Structure 1
Amino acid sequence: MTAPMLRRGPRPLPLHLSLALTRGMAALTIPPPSGEDWSNWNSGWPISKAGRAEAERIGAALAAGRHPPEAFRAAVLRRLAREDRELIAGIAAYRRHPWQREAAEVPVVWEEGGSRLLDFGGTGTPVLVVPSLVNRAQVLDLLPGHSMLRHLAARGCRVLLLDWGWPGEVERRFTLTDYIAGRLERALAAPPVAALGPVALVGYCMGGLLALAAALRRPERVRALALLATPWDFAAGGAEAAERARGLAALLPGLEPVLQATGSLPVDAIQSLFAMLDPWAIARKFRAFARLDPASPRAVQFVALEDWLNDGIPLAAPVARECLGGWYGRNEPGSGCWRVAGAVVDPAALALPTFLAIPESDRIVLPASALALAARMPAAHVHMTPAGHIGMAAGGKAEAALWSPLLRWLADL
């Protein structure tokens, strides 16, 4: 416990600690014994019908065992204290972990502003990978021996990566049209890419939407399209999913002062939005990390992924408005109203081989949202995988979950 702190995170730390505290406070609102009056109990903490039924079940079990309610409250306090200790221990262990990223240098074959085309080598099918705008691209090249890009390059693909980079003064004024019809299309036309002929365009998460729009605009430069955990219908997934989307969009007015002052949506604000999708996930995974052997491969992979998550990239203010207001608020892609450079982005109009990888346990891009895109592309090859949004691309089972199926599809081209 005396080792120096080597990193920040999880970001924003005050938010995650506050969420853990809120969960503890909620857990301390102990229900009355089974059969007692609920009318005046816990007026400040609403409880669902399912929650009330569970509380009554616990109360009945206590009464049947002749346990006083105070014993249950004491057990809850002990459990909360143990979980708090594990959370703090997990965060401290992460911050002090000695692992540091030492990736081999990758040749840069094209640059514009803060963006670069990185050449991962290989021979065979030319592949251009397009990541999201809000995270660094290194998740696809996470560790020596555990890199999707190097895996593809070693097995029959010529792999290039578009690293969007940190948005500078120019990029902070970019819209989605500027990124897609501007920078991405110029990357596709760059001499090192053009010399390879039409490429297989591979988009991850938000990058999949950018890649889809670019493929529709420049089909002569794209041989095939692979979309990995790519959203489309932001209202799909039932009433809860639609409410979640509207809730994110409703935050936009409150974010406007920051957008106007900085020209971007800061990293901590983006991380806070992601935290809203699963408020207890951060505490849960850091408690689990506290129980790992720090020298184990699993612990090293955890640290590498957390370093990537905490080293995010701000989102240009115009793009933030389009995503929160247009995608989440008005569901423009799912309703057929999303436009790039004035033209509607219509997946049904794409006459290219298409691969859609959809993680079944994705909490960031709900499977229903991605499946709605597959439904718009009748000839698409849909690959459902028992993984999460990040685990599919960089988790311990990513090779079986995504890399190998994607490689087989590329080979068939």
Structure 2
Amino acid sequence: MPLFLDLLRSETAASPERRAAALAGLKAYQEAPRPAPRTPKPVVASAGRASLRDYGGSGIPVVFIPSLINPPFVLDLARGNSLLRWMVRQGVRPLLVDWGSPTPADREQDVAAHIEQLLVPMLRALKRPPALVGYCLGGTMATAAACLTPVAGVASIAAPWHFEGYGDALGPMSDLWDQSHEICDALGLVPMEVLQAGFWQLDPRRTVSKYERFARLKPGSAEARGFVALEDWANAGAPLTFGAGRQLFDEFLSADLPGRGQWRIGGKAVGPQALDCPSIGFVSLTDRIVPAATAARFEQNVELSMGHVGMIVGGRARAALWEPLAHWLRMLRRTR
């Protein structure tokens, strides 16, 4: 909250009216009713603190890999707006990776260790090689995992690979890590607030204006409920391990090891160029969280004009992303 209020003060310094509207929207969001939590899906495999949750269906097994940042339930956001539940009806058996919550004892686990020690063992526990669908950093991790163990195919959604593509945003991100490094090292974890502050800096105007807009919505309307569900996801999430934060900031954002073809896991080079399975990449030309310039090139590439989160849960998501992804997965099944 203090971080948001600092951002609010700077963005609305010349407009008390905007500040009042945003504060009204923030208050309405905080007081909005929430539905009862849904029962978690059953676990079919686990490794360490991570688990693989089964959404049912009898089609091709597809492991959906969310980012380490924010909870996995954006892929199952709400009734009527769930990519995973919709996929069940498309001849797909979705399995969702739940990364769990790290503790300071996990401090040395970097992104590569999450792949090698948590993700790959769960993939190998399945009866047949699954297809992988990774979102955001989960797409980066899916691409790397597919270089380490047999999979039926890889789909990457809004995933960074060429981190130098962040351009001018790299400076503020580097400054944020410099300011947070010492306390994160002491904790053994990177609190969600540190990461959230980085996202807000990418588009501070929108961070404030969305609450101004929410203040004008009819309480309890479908649009208002959708906003609350999405904001609850965006404001939640377990911390990162210190090792994952250090690798993300130092080796990815600063040194761009993946983009330069120098990221190795267990001594093996990983990247789109090393894949020996069908692959497809979905990238948005208007994504401000993961700009198009950071995207890798795959066997097939689909360009969208939607926001980073909108391509998963927005009003046009089904036609623009869900349906093409389901079609690719069905075609994958026919060719195996």
TM-score normalised to structure 1 length: 0.77
2:282 to 346, 357, 365: 357
- After superposition, residues 373-392 of structure 1 pair within 5 angstroms as 373-374=296-297, 377=298, 380-392=299-311
Runs of 4+ residues over 3 Å off in structure 1? none
Amino acid at match of 1:217: L
2:248 to 304, 316, 323: 323
1:230 to 150, 159, 162: 159
How far is the alpha carbon of 1:339 from its aligned partner? 1.8
Q: Report the equivalent of 2:258.
A: 333
Decide whether the 8 Å contact of 1:132 with 1:207 is kept in 2.
yes
How far is the alpha carbon of 1:269 from its aligned partner? 1.0
Q: Report the equivalent of 2:87.
A: 152
Helix, strand or coil for the counterpart of 1:348? helix
Q: Report the equivalent of 2:119.
A: 184
How far is the alpha carbon of 1:247 from its aligned partner? 3.2
Please list the CA deviations of residues 38-94 of structure 1 after superposition, one character each: whole Å capped at 9, or x if unmatched.
Answer: xxxxxxxxxxxxxxxxxxxxxxxxxxxxxxxxxxxxxxxxxx232122111100110
Runs (5+) with no aligned partner, structure 1: 1-12, 28-79
Amino acid at match of 2:73: Q
1:303 to 224, 228, 243: 228
- 1:201 paired with 2:135, answer no
- 1:346 paired with 2:271, answer yes
Q: Report the equivalent of 1:410.
A: 329
Q: Report the equivalent of 1:17.
A: 5
- 1:83 paired with 2:18, answer yes
Decide whether the 8 Å contact of 2:57 with 2:91 is kept in 1.
yes
Please list the CA deviations of residues 308-331 of structure 1 after superposition, one character each: whole Å capped at 9, or x if unmatched.
Answer: 111112011011111101111111
Higher relative CO (Cα under 8 Å, sequence separation at least 6) belongs to: 2
Decide whether the 8 Å contact of 1:114 with 1:168 is kept in 2.
no
Decide whether the 8 Å contact of 1:128 with 1:199 is kept in 2.
yes
Helix, strand or coil for the counterpart of 1:295? coil
Q: Report the equivalent of 1:65.
A: none
When the two chains are superposed, the root-mean-square deviation of aligned CA atoms in Å is 1.5
Decide whether the 8 Å contact of 2:70 with 2:234 is kept in 1.
yes
How far is the alpha carbon of 1:20 from its aligned partner? 2.4
| Structure 1 residues 146 and 24: alpha-carbon distance in aligned structure 2, compared to 1, 3 A threshold | closer
The count of residues paired between Structure 1 and Structure 2 equals 332
Runs (5+) with no aligned partner, structure 2: none
Amino acid at match of 1:348: Q
Decide whether the 8 Å contact of 1:176 with 1:340 is kept in 2.
no
- 1:119 paired with 2:54, answer yes
TM-score normalised to structure 2 length: 0.94
Question: Partners in 1 of 2:40 and 2:257 — Cα distance?
Answer: 39
Amino acid at match of 2:22: L
Decide whether the 8 Å contact of 1:19 with 1:280 is kept in 2.
no
Decide whether the 8 Å contact of 2:64 with 2:134 is kept in 1.
yes
Question: Partners in 2 of 1:242 and 1:278 — Cα distance?
Answer: 14
Decide whether the 8 Å contact of 1:103 with 1:143 is kept in 2.
no
Decide whether the 8 Å contact of 1:248 with 1:329 is kept in 2.
no
- 1:171 paired with 2:171, answer no
Amino acid at match of 1:391: G
Q: Report the equivalent of 1:210.
A: 141
Decide whether the 8 Å contact of 2:281 with 2:300 is kept in 1.
yes
How far is the alpha carbon of 1:342 from its aligned partner? 2.5
Helix, strand or coil for the counterpart of 1:324? helix
Question: Partners in 2 of 1:404 and 1:288 — Cα distance?
Answer: 30
Q: Highest Rg: 1 or 2?
A: 1
Comparing 393-402 and 137-146, the one that deviates more: 393-402
Helix, strand or coil for the counterpart of 2:319? helix
Please list the CA deviations of residues 267-315 of structure 1 after superposition, one character each: whole Å capped at 9, or x if unmatched.
Answer: 1111111111112221110001111112211110110010111111201
Question: Partners in 1 of 2:105 and 2:320 — Cα distance?
Answer: 38
Question: Partners in 2 of 1:253 and 1:105 — Cα distance?
Answer: 37
Decide whether the 8 Å contact of 1:103 with 1:144 is kept in 2.
no
Question: Partners in 2 of 1:115 and 1:198 — Cα distance?
Answer: 19
**In percent, how many aligned pairs have the same letter?**
38
